[in-house]
Amino acid sequence: MGTAVAIEGPEPDHPAAVEAMDHLRWVEGVFSTFRPDSQISRINDGSLDIGDADEAVQDVLLRCELVRHRTRGAFEHRVGDRTDPAGYVKGWAVDGAADILLRSGIRDFMIWAGGDIRTAGHPEGEEAWSIGVRDPRDPVRVIDAVEINEGAVATSGRYERGDHIRGTGADGLASVSVVGPRLAIADALATAVMAVGLEQAGWFVDFTEYRLIAMTNDRRLLRSPSEPAPHPMSPEGRPSNNPR
């Protein structure tokens, strides 16, 4: 779906790692809007009814609708008459891969999907994963760091893929990161806040397990509950959205 994915922790040939990657490839084949033979593309071209699609497709579209409702329309999985669940399904796919690893007994891992991250446990020699949130204007600097064990960090912005987000962000947001237990929800919330801006995102407080880190175009760093934070000086060369 237009992004790279990597798993850190288990050996690449570990059966659970192989199963997790197979799961991600299956999601790509079913949900990708880049592939004309995917079920989402076939729904959009009229050759497949949603009711005849795989149960997973129906489940994801229902979940997208629920997130749209809870965000009062800020999250949207429809573009005109076309269905595009990419803002939810990438995180959902990674959550599924994480569940496969956890069920197999693997407790320490990180899955990286184009800058969005799902973790469990900790890296060797550390107590937690340290995830850097990158400066939207400088790819080798970070504006904040998140220490997590099992959880997710998703970032939405226009610095990688241009102006691909519906809406403009009412308060001039340069990037939005959301931290919480599941990447699917974190990714959808980051996209939704980026689309409408903080002033229109009062619904975010209803997602009590998730917190927000945002940077405005005028370089203000904001964290939920919408309180300004000092802009930390970040060491040059430290990779962003990657573990320490």
User: Ranked by mean pLDDT, which of 78-82, 148-152, 171-175, 235-239 comes out on top?
Assistant: 148-152
Burial degree of 160 (CB within 10 A; 0-12, 13-18, 19+): middle
Question: Is the pLDDT reported for residue 20 higher than 60?
Answer: yes
Structure token digits, residue 132: 């850097």
In the numeric block, the tokens 């959009």 are attached to 44
Mean pLDDT of 143-157: 92
* Count of helix runs (H) and strand runs (E) in the chain: 5, 12
Tens of pLDDT, residues 74-95: 999 998 899 999 999 999 999 9
For residues 189 and 210, the answer to whether their CB atoms sit within 8 Å is yes
Mean pLDDT of 175-200: 94
Could you give the CA distance from residue 224 to residue 204 in angstroms, rounded to a whole number?
9
Please report the domains of the chain, with CATH numbers, ordered by start residue. 5-229 (3.10.520.10)
Mean pLDDT of 145-170: 71
Could you give the CA distance from residue 149 to residue 134 in angstroms, rounded to a whole number?
19
**Residue 158 — pLDDT band, cuts 50, 70, 90?**
low
Structure token digits, residue 4: 């790279």
Mean pLDDT of the chain: 86
Write the DSSP string, 48-101. S-GGGS-HHHHHHHHHHHHHHHHTTTSS--EETTEE-THHHHHHHHHHHHHHHH
